[in-house]
Each structure stands twice: as structure tokens, then as C-alpha cells.
Amino acid sequence: MRLGPLLMLAAALAFTLMVSAVKVARAEMSTLEVVCWRGLISVPLCAMLVPKGRWGIQNRGWMGARVSFGFLAMYCYFTAAKGLAIADLTLIGRLQPVFLAAVAPLLLGDAERSDRRIWLVSIVGIAGCALLLGPSLALGNRAGLWALGAVVTAGLAHLCLRRLGATEDSRTVVFWFQLFVSALAAAILVVQQGALPALPSLALLPWILAVGLGATLGQNLMSRAYQLDRAAPVAAASHAAPLFAVVVDIVAFGTPPGAEVLLGGGLLLAAALALVLMEER
């Protein structure tokens, strides 16, 4: 069993729950405000996970790229969350494994090249996504374009994670990422508004807490997954995320399931399980 894709499955679930909380918070708060309050929860938690004496980063260039692309991806993703259903947003994100499979060998070397099995599983996963969520997807609207921007920037950020995994502790990488992203969001807000973000309402506090907890868990699981396995199979394992998103839409937002849920969800689970159980050639 391949641990990297398995950890990515768990990360996908954590991120799905996180973006559901983001969608609720975005009804009253801006994207940057959500990022700031997310950091207030996640940064102390991530600091507690860093091993003693492992605070330093050796490859600061790749870390800087990770922070830059990660911040852009988060901004695009949180902005898109306000205008798209969780399921639709997650479907667009399924283009990311294909992007990674194509770009990873160019940036990280031939060792990252995917064999035919990974491409086949990716195609099966995308087909499942299309069957599951395609009827309600609208790529032409503004939120859809923000989501496409998140696909590219998040893909580049994940490649940085894969490169950092060769020299850095994944927990240290997550801590510095959360800290710098939160500080960057706060600095932009100060420049724009002349003040730090206002306190959220009491009704939003549980959702802000959920955003921070989901981000902490998801980032640590994802960083460890990329440290253990190649970028393409790890990213492709997240094809199960739309199934999680459909369940959240049904339970939390009252979206009724259709026949495509069973067929598309079956393909997604088959693709995800194939990646978890697949042995190296």
C-alpha cells in the first residue's frame, strides 16, 4: 500500500471540510480576512508540531516559491468558494493532477515522469468527476475562472512541496507557510484599509475555528504525502475529493443527489483506491 496517496486522501477530506467552513465565513468576511483569522488558529497549532531544533529551512528559494504560489492559490480558492458550490469548486480542482503530471518532469526531472497507469487512473478520476458534478458546473462565470487560477497556482505550490520534501521536515515547512501567508494577508489589509481585520461575529467563530483546524490538518497531511511519493500519484489520489464535496453539499447545504452521484462516485472511489493500492513498477 502506498502511504503517500493514502495521506492525500485524508488531506482531501480535511480541505473539503475547511472550504465548506470558508464558504460560510465568506458570507460576511473578505478573502483576506478569512486568511488572517485562519492563520490565528493554524499557526500556533503548527508551531506545536515542529520538532525541537528543526525550525530552520535549508532551501529558502523553494520555500519562498511555496509561500508565493500557495498564497495566490489560497486567495483564488477562497474567492471562488463564495460563488461556486463546494462540489463544482472541487471538480475544477481535479484538473490539477493532470497539470502536475505534465509539468512535474519539466521542473523536477525525469524521476517524476508518470507511467501509463497514473495517466489512466487520472483519466478515470476526471471522468468520474464529470459524471458526478458536470451537470451543475459553469466554467464561464467569474468564480469558475478564479477556481482555474487556483488550479495552476496550487499545482506549482505542490511541486515546491515535493522539492522541499528532499531536504526539509514537512511540519517545519507547514509552519512557515502558514505564518508567512497569514502575515502577508494582514499586511495587504493594512495597506488597503489602514487597519487590521475586524473581529468576526460570535456566530462565525465556530466556522473560523473549523477553517483553522482543517487547514492545519490538511496542510500537514499533504506535505507529508508529497515527501513520501512522487507528485503525480499523490495529486491523483485527491480525485476522491469531489465525492467528499458532494456529501458535504447534501448534508450541509441540502443539495439532493442524482443518479450521476452513484456512477461518478464509484469511478472516483475506484481511481482513488487504485492509487493507494498500486505498487511501483
Residue for cell digits 502575515?
183
Dihedrals φ, ψ of 188, to 5°?
Answer: -65, -40
Q: How far apart are CA 265 and CA 88, in angstroms?
A: 14
Domain ranges of the chain: 3-277
Question: How is residue 9 annotated by DSSP?
Answer: H
Region 242-263 average pLDDT: 73
Residue for cell digits 483576506?
32
Q: How far apart are CA 243 and CA 33, in angstroms?
A: 29
Q: What is the pLDDT of residues 74-110, one digit of tens each?
A: 999 999 888 877 877 877 777 777 777 777 777 777 7
Tell me the pTM.
0.78
The three cell numbers locating residue 29 = 468576511
| Contact in structure between 116 and 46 (CB atoms under 8 Å) | no
Angle, helices 3-25/31-49, rounded to nearest 10 degrees: 140
The three cell numbers locating residue 126 = 476526471
Q: What is the pLDDT of residues 181-234, one digit of tens each?
A: 999 999 999 999 888 887 888 899 999 999 999 999 999 999 899 888 887 778
| Contact in structure between 5 and 52 (CB atoms under 8 Å) | no
Residue 255: pLDDT over 70: no
Q: What is the pLDDT of residues 100-141, one digit of tens each?
A: 777 777 777 776 666 677 777 777 777 776 665 565 554 556
The three cell numbers locating residue 268 = 472516483
Spatial neighbors of 7 by CB under 8 A, at least 6 apart, are 221, 222, 224, 225, 228
Measured CA angle at 81 (ends 273, 77), to 5 deg: 75
